[in-house]
Amino acid sequence: MGVHINKCINNHFWMNSQKCPYCGEALIEKLIEYCKNENISEINLEVRMSNLVAQSLYKKMGFSEVGQRPNYYENRETAILMKQILTEEE
């Protein structure tokens, strides 16, 4: 069984402020923890090709690029497909 992150919106004011500089990382950590506790085996998501900050965060959190979807977004931007396989050792 897997989880697909459909939409995760980051508010630049909150995500980059002193109030919550690591909110995105904390959110992903909690999602991974939840999935492991529920015996979910993988997490999948799409991220805009232009969103290098998010791609970097996902890679830091253990996600790997597994493909692309050209013209995925309304402005015809390509989506990078990313996946994390959750194993018992993690």
Annotated catalytic residue, options 33, 38, 46, 90: 46
d(Cα 34, Cα 15) in Å, to the nearest integer?
22
Q: Report residue 76 as tokens.
A: 């015809």
89 labelled catalytic: no
d(Cα 56, Cα 79) in Å, to the nearest integer?
14
- Residues sharing a CB contact under 8 Å with residue 62, sequence separation 6 or more, in sequence order: 32, 84, 90
38 labelled catalytic: no
Annotated catalytic residue, options 22, 29, 34, 58: 58
Residues noted as catalytic: 46, 58
